[in-house]
Structure 1
Amino acid sequence: MPVSTVSIPVGQWFVSPEGTRWWFDSGSFALDFAYTGRVGEEPGLEQLHAPDDLTAWLGERFPVAVSPARSRDLFDAISLRDAIGRMAVAASRGAEPRAVDLDLVNLYAATPDIPPALAGGSRQAGRSVHAVGQALSTIARDAVDLFDASNAGRIRECSGSDCAFVYLDTSRAASRRWCSMQRCGNRAKVRAHRARKAVQPAA
């Protein structure tokens, strides 16, 4: 079953325009990062206004310390993020990604990432605090896995008529339809229930 290969918890909370809080499991760490901004036609809430926002986002997700982000890091992060978002939308529609976006993801993926490590040893191997660039490389490498041919057909747009969220379907049967059962899945159930009641004959 194709899955995100980065051993970092995937998913994040969003708040709808009407104030409802809902959980979005994108299926991919790279897609989570893409959704710190706007992806495709879905109105996005920009989360990375300043370097400190990037520092906080990375700090909440990586199990190791990442150095504080600078203005240049924020520029790089948004460039990578937007490329991943555009590629995800293209994949969900069966379209080819832009060469410039492929090149950008490949460029970051080719740089040193945050290496995996086993806890409990007596010696510190490598750096105790990692650079933002290493975190971006880790995200880019997850994007390489996300857009691998093994995930063909599993990068999808939500089936909600008024929703454009894109996710990686990691279900065994590849049967996921909604960005979230709390959001679009529930809306679909309500609409189906109302439609059934509307056609029921009067007693």
Structure 2
Amino acid sequence: MRHYATGRLLHDPKGGSFWFDAGAVCLDFAHTGGEGRYAVFETLHEPGDLTAWLAQAPPAAVLTAPATARDLSAAKALRQAVWATAHARAAGRALDAGAIAVINRAAAAPPLVPQLTDEGTTSPWAAPVLAEQALSTLAREMIGLLTGPLAGRFRECAGDNCALVFVDSSRPGARRWCAMERCGNRHKLRALRARRAADS
């Protein structure tokens, strides 16, 4: 994965939005929706939504052929596998074999191919740019996280009833919140109210 700043704007179905940086593009992708009670957060309703998400930086993969229904199905399967694996690692649980198989299957496809310009900088991905390649690149990034120096830095947000998961790449490794302006501030407000109640 090329070095872009990570993070996306997440929208709460109840209203409001906030910037959430999961620390890796594959983890940002894992928060595009979900299954069961997380279905209300779904943003990938049709193949065109996947095409649009991939075109944003990162990964800035402007597809040379539109995503298909099959691509969307594969993307949602990979998303769920990344989500489940990240939460398992954050909680110190064994990784699910089925989720690992999905990630490995996606990673087995050819990834996006970076290009170097005459100026020595990267340009848009080498054509063709296909959804399957983008998913492979995301899967490979997840494998790199799980096996690299940040393997022990997967965290679930410490906020009450917040299921967002991220990899903490900060130097001290002390990140606790999905976003300071969301769960961090809520925690501060509750702590302040508790102190005032104790002092009264």
| TM-score relative to the length of structure 2 | 0.87
Mapped partners of 1:170, 1:41: distance in 2:
29
Letter in 2 for 1:117: Q
Corresponding residue for 2:141? Answer: 142
When the two chains are superposed, the root-mean-square deviation of aligned CA atoms in Å is 2.4
**Aligned partner of 1:113 among 81, 87, 111:** 111
**CA-to-aligned-CA distance 1:52-105 (integer Å, 9 cap, x gap):** 111111111333431210111111111111111111111111011111211221
Q: Aligned with 1:19: secondary structure?
A: coil
**Sequence identity of aligned pairs in percent?**
42
1:80–1:105 Cα contact (<8 Å) kept: yes
Q: Does 1:164 align with 2:160?
A: no
Work out the CA distance in 2 between the residues paired with 1:11 and 1:40: 24
The alignment status of 1:25 with 2:21, answered yes or no, reads: yes
Tell me the TM-score normalized by structure 1. 0.86
In the other structure, the counterpart of 2:70 is 72
Moved over 4 A (4+): 39-44, 124-127
> 8 Å contact 2:67–2:131 — kept in the other structure?
yes
Q: 1:87 — aligned with what?
A: 85
- Which of these two proteins has the greater Rg computed from alpha carbons? 1
Return closer, same or farther for 1:44/1:179 CA change in 2, 3 Å cut-off. Answer: farther
**SS of match in other structure, 2:102:** helix
- From the superposition, tell whether residues 141 and 18 of structure 1 become closer, same or farther in structure 2 (CA, over 3 Å): same
Q: Which residue of 2 aligns with 1:155?
A: 154
**Separation of aligned partners in 1, 2:103 and 2:60:** 23
Distance in 2, Cα, partners of 1:162 & 1:114: 36
DSSP-derived class of the 1:150 partner = coil
Counterparts of 2:197 and 2:11, CA distance in 1: 31
Matching residue's letter, 1:88: A
Q: Using a 3 Å threshold, how does the CA distance of structure 1 residues 145 and 39 change in structure 2: closer, same or farther?
A: farther
Question: Which structure carries more helix by proportion?
Answer: 2
Distance in 1 (alpha carbons) for counterparts of 2:42 and 2:95? 23
Pairwise CA distance, 1:39 = 7.5
Which sections of structure 2, spanning at least 5 residues, go unmatched? none
Asked if structure 2 preserves the Cα contact closer than 8 Å seen for 1:89 and 1:166, the reply is yes
Contact 1:40–1:89 (CA under 8 A) maintained in structure 2: no
Report the equivalent of 1:180: 179
**Count of matched residue positions in the alignment of Structure 1 and Structure 2:** 195
C-alpha distance in structure 1 between counterparts of 2:198 and 2:124, whole Å? 67
The answer as to whether partners of 1:36 and 1:45 remain within 8 angstroms in 2 is yes
- Give the deviation of 1:13 after TM superposition: 0.9
Question: Aligned match of 2:96 in 95, 98, 109?
Answer: 98
Unaligned regions of 5+ residues in structure 1, if any? none
Between 1:111-120 and 1:68-77, the stretch displaced more is 111-120
